[in-house]
């Protein structure tokens, strides 16, 4: 793959009819991070996907993340994820259970996509 890969996708189901997807490019290894809130169960998940399989997933409380039209933030005792939609940049800083070792991953070219209700 290219040096710069799509390393982060955060997927939030706003309702059963529409969804918001956030994508960022990163120079870090080929891993996909997905944030998803299930509209049926109202449970939020943070998933870490390798090239071929699910590596880890976590159920996270609503108090650990914040999403609005300007930004996305996730924070727990070991990991912080921040994305600024206006500046189109962000980052992941982790030193705990979510990643195997300390990681400081810059994110750029961040964009959010709202799917139409028909999808």
Q: What is the pLDDT of residues 67-117, one digit of tens each?
A: 788 888 888 888 888 989 899 998 888 886 656 666 787 887 787 766 444
Phi, psi values for residue 64, rounded to 5° = -90, -10
Q: What is the pLDDT of residue 117?
A: 46
The whole-angstrom separation of Cα 84 and Cα 111 is 9
- Whether this prediction's pTM lies above 0.75 is answered by no
Q: What is the pLDDT of residue 72?
A: 85
**60, 45 Cβ separation under 8 angstroms:** yes
Place of tokens 């940049």: 89
Residues 6+ apart with CB under 8 A from 25: 4, 5, 6, 7, 107, 108, 109, 110
- Most confident range (mean pLDDT) of 26-30, 42-46, 73-77 is 73-77
Q: What is the domain partition of the chain in residue ranges?
A: 5-114
């Amino acid at each position: 793959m290219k040096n710069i890969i799509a390393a982060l996708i955060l997927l939030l189901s706003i309702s059963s009819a529409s969804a918001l997807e956030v994508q960022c490019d990163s120079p870090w290894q080929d891993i996909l991070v997905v944030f998803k809130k299930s509209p049926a169960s109202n449970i939020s998940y943070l998933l870490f996907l390798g090239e071929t399989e699910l590596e880890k997933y976590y159920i996270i409380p609503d108090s650990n993340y914040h999403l609005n039209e300007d930004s996305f933030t996730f924070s727990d005792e070991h990991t912080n994820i921040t994305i600024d939609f206006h500046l189109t940049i962000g980052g992941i800083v982790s030193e705990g259970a979510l990643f195997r070792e300390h990681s400081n991953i810059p994110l750029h070219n961040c964009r959010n996509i709202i799917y139409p209700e028909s999808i």
